[in-house]
Amino acid sequence: MATINFKRPIQIVITILLIIYVCYSAGIFSAQGREQFKSLLVDVNWTYIWLSLFVTVVQNLISIRKWHIVVVAKKLVGSFWLLLKYLYVSRLYNLILPTSMGGDVIRIYRLGKLNNSIEKAAASVFVERFAGMLVLLILAAVSFAFMAKADTKLFALSFAFVLIVTLVLGWSATDNRFVQLLKSIANKTNISLLDKIAEKFEEFQNSIRTVGKDKGFLLRLFGYSVIFYILAVASVWVSALAFEQNVSLIHMIIAVPVIMLIMNLPVSIGGLGLMEASYTVSFELLGYSAELGLITALIMRAKALLDGLIGGIFELKA
């Protein structure tokens, strides 16, 4: 009997509800709200828009530099520019896959195919991502301290989700007892496929441990992660400045980590609606208009679409 998968219909419904909520919060359903939104568009400062695009390009280069040092440490084949191509292709798939991590599967597949080792490729992406998640959790914890008086239930939910995912992934990727558990289940059930999965996962764990012993490597990795999030804050800040000159950098330092946390919740299709809602709520909590939050989110969405378009061009040429 065929099973019915309710996940995608639920995601579609949540996406639609989030979009309706964002439009309502930003006043798009009222004539006055539409006029305010239109006035923001008319008064846009294009210098800040171009600066925002430049910051995003630098942010992408830093992201690749961070991944590249892991690839080099793992002695994998993959030049900086090839990894940059893989990044843009992954951004294409991020538009249709759940959460901002959906494209990581594409990065793992492409690098694994190039090196004939999915395990080592997965380890390289995992280490790069895991370092970023740890830094994000630390920054978000600081942000929560500043937003303690506000209604931060959604922020708390996203923080708890990412924290649990980080702990589970960290344990399963480094603790040998996880592999032993898989092997034990395989022996009891006589499922050969599960035994093969356990062997591959053991290779994956060993691959992670080899780079985890190098303290200099770890310092560089976390250093680039910090730079990445500094640029993420700068990207949102200059995007907002394009429409409102009095946006505080301190406020963006507080808002961006929790926004990025929320975007990891796998509740909508490609983060559509979820990202926009996180911006409007965050901006309102910090004393700005929902319209400004929405239009800033749309600029960030446009830049993500541009990255995806570049990734699509790379795919067509492949």
Write down the pLDDT at residue 2: 47
Write down the pLDDT at residue 166: 67
Write down the pLDDT at residue 187: 74
Predicted TM-score (pTM) above 0.75: yes
Q: Supply the DSSP string of the chain, one letter for each residue.
A: -PPP--HHHHHHHHHHHHHHHHHHHTTTTSHHHHHHHHHHHHT--HHHHHHHHHHHHHHHHHHHHHHHHHHHHTT----HHHHHHHHHHHHHHHTTSSSTTTTHHHHHHHHHHHHT-HHHHHHHHHHHHHHHHHHHHHHHHHHHHHTTTS--HHHHHHHHHHHHHHHHHHHHHH-HHHHHHHHHHHHHHT-HHHHHHHHHHHHHHHHHHHHHT-HHHHHHHHHHHHHHHHHHHHHHHHHHHTT-TT--HHHHHHHHHHHHHHTT-TTSGGGTTHHHHHHHHHHHHTT--HHHHHHHHHHHHHHHHHHHHHHHHHHHH-
Write down the pLDDT at residue 1: 41
pLDDT in 10s for each residue of the chain, 318 residues? 444 556 667 777 778 888 888 887 877 888 787 787 777 777 889 999 999 999 999 999 999 999 999 888 888 888 999 999 999 999 888 877 655 566 888 898 899 899 988 878 888 888 888 788 778 877 877 776 666 555 555 566 666 666 676 677 666 666 677 667 767 776 777 766 566 666 656 666 666 666 656 677 778 888 999 999 999 999 999 999 999 889 989 889 888 888 887 777 777 776 778 888 889 988 888 888 888 999 999 999 999 999 999 999 998 876
Write down the pLDDT at residue 161: 64
Structural domain boundaries in the chain:
44-317
